[in-house]
Chains A and B, each alone.
Chain A
């Protein structure tokens, strides 16, 4: 999510994704045949719930600020990505919906000199954890140039610069490819367009049509990616480029939920981009994984 890409890098990354997508499709075809078979569970068994936000509350109410911070504005250079939105904490952009969900809404409107508004919330200094299962059930936004993400950064980002501090993207998608979810890790030597990524393609469906559960299970040296209980990618210490450092055994991470509009990763929205777009989050949970 936090990345600065050259054109070349974008091309490279796209190519990579396509290759991986093909691989993932093959994998999915195999997996889909056995998703209902409860005798072959995937993922850690000894989960211990340590944090959850179910987003219960009245429609229009603000989120629980014991758990969440608002990030306001456009950052520097559009949060480093030439993003076009201005993040606010207005209920128009982020609020509970009264039906047990938190809704982030990206709107096409002039605000503080920017052409779109949206919201970005983090658990920095409030909910941080090293290792465990991080999951959220989300109905994604879509539309060309819309870039939603559920992701994490290393807790001491204020002292240690990105990408050394580490970034784990549990899910992000490009609104013009609403059937592809992408999970990545960024570290020194493998950030931005060179991040280590895997993607999952759903056939005859799209992630902005309904809720899906996005999760990682993060243990020492390993991050496993899950969609609706299906493990579709495993990234390990061995996957980092030669000479690069695996930075995910050092510190706790905090979570971020946001919708960006425009930016290097996704391109700019156009007049026929459907807006407003909403990211509807049913819950966010963190489990510790017991041995």
Chain B
């Protein structure tokens, strides 16, 4: 608040003339320790109480407040706020702070009460106490207080009066007219009281949610969203938003995270977990914060021997592919046999880079990729290196080939051993620009400014995004895209139709069509020919957006008469969304079929990108689920992971996690152990929703190093959806698991009714 409003002072000196207060109304304080500060209860009865002054918020209409002697609840005067038009050039709202220079001892009271009425029915945006221009440790307010045209009494309870031994913030208000037009608001008989007619119903932090804060050593966050719900004398609940300082916080593991009395959480260690909880006057508050990271799994060795394109992961094992690489500025590079098939890298083929004598310090090796790096599982790149020197920096840069250096982001990590393979992790978290396709990797050894090359030979291998599938192109999981140029990066190839129009922006290509006049949906079409097999189920995924809200038809169909098709209507918005349609070709199936997008029924832009058509494993259903407590009705059993948090509402239990900060997908995880048999087909189904649009990664994987996994991305919305994914296991072990990795984005993830069936 202080940062928003600059200081503007309107002092009401007349208050000091009225030092005669009715102390007869004070609570009996015979048994109390003598207070250091005055325990004056009155704020505004017929005038300002002793020492009270008013300061308007600087960008409010500062003349809005006055004392009214005509309209009062009782007595000689009331406070009046002339709430301005929201378009008022002098300030579109009224607001300010009533404070005392000397703090008051409010420990004998439990509520601020006042009467209010307005010239029309209105909702006061914020009103409370505990805010001054010097601080807001115990800021307390009610949002959205309804005021009518009759005088009515209002209560703002003090969450824990024992803490208010020296409070200067007696009352504050911030109010803009609901409908934008000016009106008058009167407030009278403002005083602190000690009443037994208000019952504390419940209290919470973090809006009562259990949130997850995946964070490393040194990170800090402040517990927000603290509230207390009170049962008022009229039998209605009223929420009071309370400063976190009213609460007493506890960390379950002080070695991992500490929390101070203002609710500031400091992460001390990345090793382990801590849960932050709170109490208010001894009663437990709802909501908690789980702090800590799941361990980064050690990287497996990459197998790209069957890869169909040069893309991450890269292991240099393919004999069919042409790796597009180049040593530059005096670095000599070649793909060669591994000179030291041991330790963490026993694979056959690696990249050599020799920094020749006298070469530039920025001599290195670049690799151009056929597809951009997929950072959906994490933003950490793993690289295995072999260096004759320990303690030298290795620089890893990624960029877009078309944009070049302007799109480049870099990280330096030192080697730790000499003449031995080791894994280096390059954590690009927070640096990745989601609008850029990173399709070039550049690696520099001993990147020390102005230090020329000395002829040393280095090797690197296994370029891999942590958490992703280490097998490139091995046709695992039946998930191969049946379409060509689904991401439109190859330009005007493979697709057809009058809507086919590839545009490129920021290094990313996509299809752009703008429908000028509405007609039949099929009047404006984008298609790609693909064989469809009758009876087969297909999954069509794509990203799409528009310049407003409009719909489009997407699906599969015959590419010749009678043009039979299976389609769904999708709703586009101005935000790019990922869509996933499950389509079964029940009534047709020939070579001359197609994926189709019909967009002619409405006007407006249609942007389409990253179109993927895959076959599901087929069938599914039938068998028994391999999981225990898949519906979470048995509570906190069978599952594990820092996202494991069963809640119950209306008799139904489910898993609820709320991710506070984005990181690697696997930072926030829910898992259950289950045996997976290599080569077998599994169908995973579950219900999931969120508090907005976000994605999670779901799949099956090893529950031990190297944590190989077969995963898919599920796009969650605020509506509960049922997801079904079919996987063919590229690994197999007793110690395997079903996994939900949800740390890559913030927001709620609700999961229920998880089943895993072997097909």
B287 CB to nearest A CB, Å: 18
Decide yes or no: A146 and B233 within 8 Å by CB, A110-B650, A204-B195, A205-B196 being known contacts: no
Residues of B in contact, count (CB < 8 Å): 15
When the two chains form the complex, which single residue of B195, B233, B235, B651 contacts A273, counting CB atoms closer than 8 Å?
Answer: B235
In whole angstroms, what is the CA distance A111 to B650 when docked? 9
Residue A176 at the chain B interface, CB threshold 8 Å? yes
Q: Chain A contact residues (Cβ within 8 angstroms of B): what range?
A: 20 to 34
B565 CB to nearest A CB, Å: 40
B197 touches A205 (CB 8 A): yes
A270 touches B236 (CB 8 A): yes
B196 touches A204 (CB 8 A): yes
Decide yes or no: A109 and B651 within 8 Å by CB, A206-B196, A206-B199 being known contacts: yes
A167 CB to nearest B CB, Å: 25
In whole angstroms, what is the CA distance A175 to B233 when docked? 9
B28 CB to nearest A CB, Å: 14
**Please, which residues of chain B bring their CB within 8 A of the CB of A174?**
235
What mask results when residues 143 to 183 of chain A are scored 1 for a CB within 8 Å of chain B, else 0? 11110000000000000000000000000001111110000
Q: Chain A CB within 10 Å — which of B195, B201, B237 has the most?
A: B237
When the two chains form the complex, which single residue of A146, A204, A208, A270 contacts B199, counting CB atoms closer than 8 Å?
Answer: A208
**Please, which residues of chain B bring their CB within 8 A of the CB of A178?**
197, 233, 235
Residue B165 at the chain A interface, CB threshold 8 Å? no
A272 touches B651 (CB 8 A): no
A206 CB to nearest B CB, Å: 5
In whole angstroms, what is the CA distance A143 to B233 when docked? 9
Q: Which residue of chain B is the closest to A271 with respect to CB atoms?
A: B237
**Please, which residues of chain A bring their CB within 8 A of the CB of B201?**
274
In whole angstroms, what is the CA distance A179 to B195 when docked? 13
In whole angstroms, what is the CA distance A273 to B651 when docked? 20
Residue A49 at the chain B interface, CB threshold 8 Å? no
Residue B309 at the chain A interface, CB threshold 8 Å? no
B196 touches A274 (CB 8 A): no
Residue B234 at the chain A interface, CB threshold 8 Å? yes
A272 touches B238 (CB 8 A): yes
Interface residues in A1-21 (C-beta closer than 8 Å to B): none
Residue A31 at the chain B interface, CB threshold 8 Å? no
A176 touches B195 (CB 8 A): no
B237 touches A274 (CB 8 A): yes
In whole angstroms, what is the CA distance A176 to B196 when docked? 16
A208 touches B197 (CB 8 A): no
B195 touches A142 (CB 8 A): no
Residue B231 at the chain A interface, CB threshold 8 Å? yes
In whole angstroms, what is the CA distance A110 to B652 when docked? 11
A209 touches B196 (CB 8 A): yes
B231 touches A208 (CB 8 A): yes
A144 touches B235 (CB 8 A): yes
Interface residues in B232-247 (C-beta closer than 8 Å to A): 233-238
Q: Which residue of chain A is the closest to B239 with respect to CB atoms?
A: A272
B650 touches A176 (CB 8 A): no
A179 touches B199 (CB 8 A): no
B235 touches A209 (CB 8 A): no
Residue B633 at the chain A interface, CB threshold 8 Å? no
A138 CB to nearest B CB, Å: 16
Residue B229 at the chain A interface, CB threshold 8 Å? yes
What mask results when residues 194 to 213 of chain B are scored 1 for a CB within 8 Å of chain A, else 0? 01110101000000000000
Q: How many A-B residue pairs have CB under 8 A?
A: 54
In whole angstroms, what is the CA distance A236 to B580 when docked? 75
B650 touches A143 (CB 8 A): no
Decide yes or no: A206 and B197 within 8 Å by CB, A109-B651, A110-B650 being known contacts: yes
A144 touches B650 (CB 8 A): no
**Please, which residues of chain B bring their CB within 8 A of the CB of A274?**
201, 229, 231, 235-237
When the two chains form the complex, which single residue of A111, A144, A179, A204 contacts B236, counting CB atoms closer than 8 Å?
Answer: A144
B412 CB to nearest A CB, Å: 56
What mask results when residues 90 to 117 of chain A are scored 1 for a CB within 8 Å of chain B, else 0? 0000000000000000000111000000
A204 touches B235 (CB 8 A): no
**Please, which residues of chain B bring their CB within 8 A of the CB of A109?**
650-651
A117 CB to nearest B CB, Å: 9
A175 touches B235 (CB 8 A): yes
In whole angstroms, what is the CA distance A221 to B229 when docked? 47
Q: Chain B CB within 10 Å — which of A145, A178, A205 has the most?
A: A178
Q: Which residue of chain A is the closest to B238 with respect to CB atoms?
A: A272
**Please, which residues of chain B bring their CB within 8 A of the CB of A204?**
195-197
Decide yes or no: A142 and B231 within 8 Å by CB, A110-B650, A272-B236, A274-B237 being known contacts: yes
**Please, which residues of chain A bring their CB within 8 A of the CB of B233?**
178-179, 206
Q: Which residue of chain B is the closest to A210 with respect to CB atoms?
A: B196
**Please, which residues of chain A bring their CB within 8 A of the CB of B238?**
272
In whole angstroms, what is the CA distance A204 to B233 when docked? 10
**Please, which residues of chain A bring their CB within 8 A of the CB of B199?**
142, 206, 208-209
A78 CB to nearest B CB, Å: 20
**Please, which residues of chain A bring their CB within 8 A of the CB of B236?**
143-144, 176, 270, 272-274
What mask results when residues 34 to 69 of chain A are scored 1 for a CB within 8 Å of chain B, else 0? 000000000000000000000000000000000000
Q: Chain B CB within 10 Å — which of A109, A142, A273 has the most?
A: A142
In whole angstroms, what is the CA distance A111 to B237 when docked? 23
Interface residues in B383-423 (C-beta closer than 8 Å to A): none
B576 CB to nearest A CB, Å: 35
A144 touches B234 (CB 8 A): yes
Q: Chain A CB within 10 Å — which of B199, B231, B650 has the most?
A: B231
In whole angstroms, what is the CA distance A142 to B200 when docked? 12
**Please, which residues of chain B bring their CB within 8 A of the CB of A110?**
650
What mask results when residues 642 to 683 of chain B are scored 1 for a CB within 8 Å of chain A, else 0? 000000001100000000000000000000000000000000
In whole angstroms, what is the CA distance A270 to B236 when docked? 8
**Please, which residues of chain B bring their CB within 8 A of the CB of A145?**
235
Decide yes or no: A143 and B235 within 8 Å by CB, A110-B650, A274-B201 being known contacts: yes
Decide yes or no: A142 and B235 within 8 Å by CB, A109-B650, A109-B651, A274-B229 being known contacts: yes
A274 CB to nearest B CB, Å: 5
A43 CB to nearest B CB, Å: 27
In whole angstroms, what is the CA distance A208 to B237 when docked? 14
**Please, which residues of chain B bring their CB within 8 A of the CB of A142?**
199, 231, 235
Q: Chain A CB within 10 Å — which of B201, B235, B238 has the most?
A: B235
A273 touches B196 (CB 8 A): no
Q: Which residue of chain B is the closest to A143 with respect to CB atoms?
A: B235
A179 touches B197 (CB 8 A): yes
In whole angstroms, what is the CA distance A142 to B233 when docked? 9
B653 CB to nearest A CB, Å: 13
A272 touches B237 (CB 8 A): yes
Interface residues in B206-233 (C-beta closer than 8 Å to A): 229, 231, 233
In whole angstroms, what is the CA distance A209 to B235 when docked? 12
A284 CB to nearest B CB, Å: 24
When the two chains form the complex, which single residue of B235, B650, B651 contacts A146, counting CB atoms closer than 8 Å?
Answer: B235
B614 CB to nearest A CB, Å: 39
What mask results when residues 255 to 291 of chain A are scored 1 for a CB within 8 Å of chain B, else 0? 0000000000000001011100000000000000000
A176 CB to nearest B CB, Å: 4
What mask results when residues 196 to 228 of chain A are scored 1 for a CB within 8 Å of chain B, else 0? 000000001110110000000000000000000
Q: Which 4 A-B pairs have the closest CB atoms?
A: A176-B235, A144-B235, A272-B237, A175-B235
* Sample of 6 A–B contacts (CB below 8 Å): A109-B650, A145-B235, A204-B197, A206-B197, A208-B199, A272-B237
Told that A177-B235, A178-B197, A274-B235 touch, could you supply 19 new A-B pairs with CB distance under 8 A? A111-B651, A142-B199, A142-B231, A143-B235, A143-B236, A144-B235, A144-B236, A174-B235, A175-B235, A176-B236, A204-B196, A206-B199, A206-B233, A272-B236, A272-B237, A272-B238, A274-B201, A274-B229, A274-B231
Residues of A within 8 A of B (CB): 109-111, 142-146, 174-179, 204-206, 208-209, 270, 272-274
